[in-house]
Chains A and B, each alone.
Chain A
Amino acid sequence: MNTNASNFVEQVDLAFYVIIGISLILLIGVTAVMIYFVVRYNKKKNPTATQIEGNNKLELIWTIIPTILVLIMFYYGWVGYEPMRNVPDDAIEVKAIGRMWSWTFEYDNGLKSDKLIVPLNKAVKLNLVSMDVNHALYIPAFRIKEDVVPGRNNFMWFEAQKLGSYDIFCAEYCGQRHAYMITKCDVIPVEEYNSWYAEGAQALANPSDDPVEAGYNTIKANGCIACHSTDGTKLVGPSFKGIFGTQRVVVTGDEERTVTVDEAYIINSIKHPNDDVVKDYMKGLMPGYDGQISDEDMDKIVFYIKSLGE
């Protein structure tokens, strides 16, 4: 299992080997002794039991030796863990935003990505932000995990040591599509990373000329498509396809009413999703984006939804 994909793998795996190794010896030893006793002292072979009340020396031995063994185990667990909490000063900082049910990674220059792109052999610190409920960012290949808790500034860091594309999972149960809150961490060479970072910055300065593409990029970066499809498939939220300009029945408070899906409705539903929930969909699942998405981006989203037809 040791891939050395991150700087932590070696020490973490060592803790596994030490603990599982000691445990296996004890497990096999105790089980073998137990089976031996049952066979050797079967009532046919040994019709009369020898009464032994106990033995204080033995009690001491099997208290002290396990104590030493578990302290050794603790030590290896701690040694592997300690560096996880000490972030190098020169680490690249990335904001990792979790929401039901997608990830967004925001870089220093404002670049947003639904994949985590990191350079090889550079320390990367992830500042973990949740927009709604608890999540946990888990990269099995790197042996790291930390909860993404709303209202708290949790963090984690790592140094990727091997090029490749690694799974990122949400490990803290977060609702209906928890199992789909997955993405990738792409580890790329430093030069490639630098140019990706610079290109991204440029793209932000000069957004795509194609407004449909720009709109799609915006909803992707903000995690909308985790719950709203663009092809008519019903996910947790209504699909964006073909809704613009139509009449929909929504629940406002406890009352049902019919609204037209227009610009005002879309923008308000993004900012305050629980005001008017489309009938047959669940209230309370979507976080409000008031203050999270700029007016400019709102326009792009509205344009994109319009482009998906009426």
Chain B
Amino acid sequence: MESEKMATEITPKGYVNFFEESHGLKSWIFTHDHKRIALLYFYGVVGFFLMGVVLGLLMKFEMITPGETIMKPQTYNSLFTLHGVIMVFLFIIPAVPAIFGNFFLPILIGADDVAFPKLNLLSWYLYVIGGIMALSTLILGDGPPDTGWTFYAPYSVKTGTNVIMAVMAAFVLGFSSILTGLNFIVTMHRMRAPGMDWMKMPLFPWALYATSWVQVLATPIIGITLLMVVAERVLGVGFFDPSIGGDPVLYQHLFWIYSHPAVYIMILPAMGLISEMIPVFVKKSIFGYKAIVYSSLAIAFVGYFVWGHHMFTSGMSGQARVVFSILTFLVAIPSGVKVFNWVATMFKGSIDLQTPLLYCMAFIFLFMIGGFTGLVVGALSADVHVHDTYFVVAHFHYVMFGGTGFAFIGALHYWYPKMFGRMYNKKVANIGFGVLFTGFNILYFPMFILGIQGMPRRYYDYLPEYSTWHKVSTMGSWVVAIGLIIIIANLVKAYRKGEPATGNVWGGITLEWETKSPPPLLNFDKPPTVTHGPYDYSILNK
């Protein structure tokens, strides 16, 4: 308790935080400090995210009218491919683990760094190299890839565009992801502070633990699959193209054996963030701690066995479709358990409705819409109708952007004062939230309607009967852009002019709030000892 009191005071003069410890470019690009590596990721990930946003806005603008608006079909096809590759491999997979995981996992478990700091830096370099490779397709080779981020064979084998560079980029990024996962697993096994049993570990580390196993075990499959595409293109080895003896459906199996678990790499850490934030603003123990832990592990495990639901119309055997459908419905249950536990946590709390909690509530609402529409596409007959339509596009944007995206921005508002030692303007932050939430729904909800009406995805052009909702959706994209600008401007301004933040701005009791803002190089002045559960807010009343 004493250290807590200390930390709530404004940081004393002469205190050196991890920013001030050393200076210059070299001190950053050769750093072994997990916090600095997290920030390196932060700038990279946000940069790529903004690129993905711009590509998305251009796509939506093209869609405002049928026929050509601002670009040709080939350009549009490359745009949605790059939008997907950037958002999936360069934003949403690394965003939460590589930024918040790197920065806060060691602090949350009371460690001074991750288990393998050098490996951590290597992961970042692989991330940057993969990112540059993906972007290089814009200027090198015969044009950016036009296959969709899924690189479905045999089209990806036949097209003349620069597919090889793009899949090699995804291959390299895969290693970045594997190494991060490996690092986190070892860190959690070996470096928890004295007194922190597994069942006293906060829920964000738990979510990262489940995620890391998926990263380590599933990612190699996409690696080898993408190499097979390269081998087929370069050497003519017939894996997937039937004209040289391959099987296109084999590609889809291999691709989704990774890419479905990857969906959980994207959402599980975000769920961990929500579990971390809600108790702080409710001042109450999380409801059903163990249920949330086990549901994370269950999602990660069952998530391996549902990939076939991406292929209900591929010509897979009827029995396989039935089995994959049942398993898909079952994987929804642990997600539901989490939602019920989050809401129950608010019961009889003492709720302080700050910006991060608004994001948590938006997450729960949008994630439910994403989840429920996931049940629609998990049902065999309904999926046959809406598979590969805008319905699916809306569904995964609700889960990925409405879920992980909102959790990411919420966590940024939650930990911003800890990371940068300054507080943003809360009123502007709430306005930014409101605009983003409104714009998000105007942008993506019409896509559900378009999908049910039968509008296929990845269409450069459309029949006139689909015009209305396409127009509405495009206008929503502008509102989203305005929301993002408000949010970013507010945070950038805070970085330069914000009020200095105290060590414990929200009155949290997890370990990051026991150290100063921003933390010192080794995170704590003296190694912490854990005496209470991560959300045992009864200590406040003692």
> In this assembly, does B130 line the interface, its C-beta being within 8 Å of a C-beta of chain A?
no
- Point out the residues of chain B lying under 8 angstroms from A171, CB to CB: 313, 387-389, 456-457
- Point out the residues of chain A lying under 8 angstroms from B456, CB to CB: 138, 169-171, 179
- Point out the residues of chain B lying under 8 angstroms from A134, CB to CB: 152, 154-155, 248
A131 CB to nearest chain B CB (Å): 10
Q: Residue-by-residue, is A162-206 near B (CB-CB < 8 Å gives 1, otherwise 0)?
A: 000001011111111111101000000000000000000000000
Pairwise interchain contact B329-A54, C-beta atoms closer than 8 A: no
- Point out the residues of chain A lying under 8 angstroms from B372, CB to CB: 19-20, 23, 26-27
> In this assembly, does B369 line the interface, its C-beta being within 8 Å of a C-beta of chain A?
yes
A116 CB to nearest chain B CB (Å): 16
Distance of A143 Cα from B391 Cα, bound (Å) = 14
> In this assembly, does B29 line the interface, its C-beta being within 8 Å of a C-beta of chain A?
no
Q: Residue-by-residue, is B416-433 near A (CB-CB < 8 Å gives 1, otherwise 0)?
A: 000000000000000000
Is chain B's interface secondary structure helix, strand, loop, or mixed overall? helix
Q: Residue-by-residue, is B300-332 near A (CB-CB < 8 Å gives 1, otherwise 0)?
A: 000000000000011100100110011001101
> In this assembly, does A292 line the interface, its C-beta being within 8 Å of a C-beta of chain B?
no
Q: How many residues of B contact A (CB 8 A)?
A: 91
B311 CB to nearest chain A CB (Å): 8
- Point out the residues of chain A lying under 8 angstroms from B287, CB to CB: 52-55
Interface residues of B in 144-180 (CB under 8 A from A): 146-148, 152, 154-155, 158-160
If A50-B284, A78-B322 touch, whether A151 touches B376 (CB-CB below 8 Å) is: no
> In this assembly, does A154 line the interface, its C-beta being within 8 Å of a C-beta of chain B?
yes
Distance of A50 Cα from B376 Cα, bound (Å) = 38
Distance of A145 Cα from B176 Cα, bound (Å) = 38
The answer, among A23, A46, A78, A173, for a CB contact under 8 Å with B325, is: A78
Binds B, one of A91-99, A207-215, A281-289: A281-289
Most chain A beta-carbon contacts within 10 A, residue among B332, B346, B376, B380: B380
> In this assembly, does A252 line the interface, its C-beta being within 8 Å of a C-beta of chain B?
no
> In this assembly, does B379 line the interface, its C-beta being within 8 Å of a C-beta of chain A?
yes
A272 CB to nearest chain B CB (Å): 13
Q: Residue-by-residue, is B504-542 near A (CB-CB < 8 Å gives 1, otherwise 0)?
A: 000000000000000000000000000000001110010
> In this assembly, does B488 line the interface, its C-beta being within 8 Å of a C-beta of chain A?
no
Binds A, one of B19-27, B133-141, B259-267, B288-296: B288-296
Pairwise interchain contact A143-B384, C-beta atoms closer than 8 A: yes
Q: What are 11 inter-chain pairs, A to B, with CB distance below 8 A?
A: A30-B340, A37-B346, A38-B346, A55-B287, A55-B344, A74-B325, A81-B381, A133-B248, A141-B454, A149-B248, A175-B159
Q: Which residues of B contact A (CB under 8 A)?
A: 73-74, 77, 146-148, 152, 154-155, 158-160, 241-243, 246-249, 282-285, 287-291, 313-315, 318, 321-322, 325-326, 329-330, 332-333, 336-337, 339-341, 343-344, 346-353, 357, 361, 364-365, 368-369, 372-373, 375-376, 378-385, 387-389, 452-454, 456-463, 536-538, 541
Q: Which residues of A contact B (CB under 8 A)?
A: 1, 8, 11-12, 15-16, 19-20, 23, 26-27, 30-31, 33-35, 37-38, 41-43, 46-55, 58-59, 62-63, 66-67, 70-71, 73-74, 76-81, 84-85, 132-134, 136, 138, 140-141, 143-147, 149-152, 154, 167, 169-180, 182, 282-285
- 5 tightest A-B CB contacts, nearest first: A140-B454, A77-B379, A151-B242, A80-B381, A81-B380
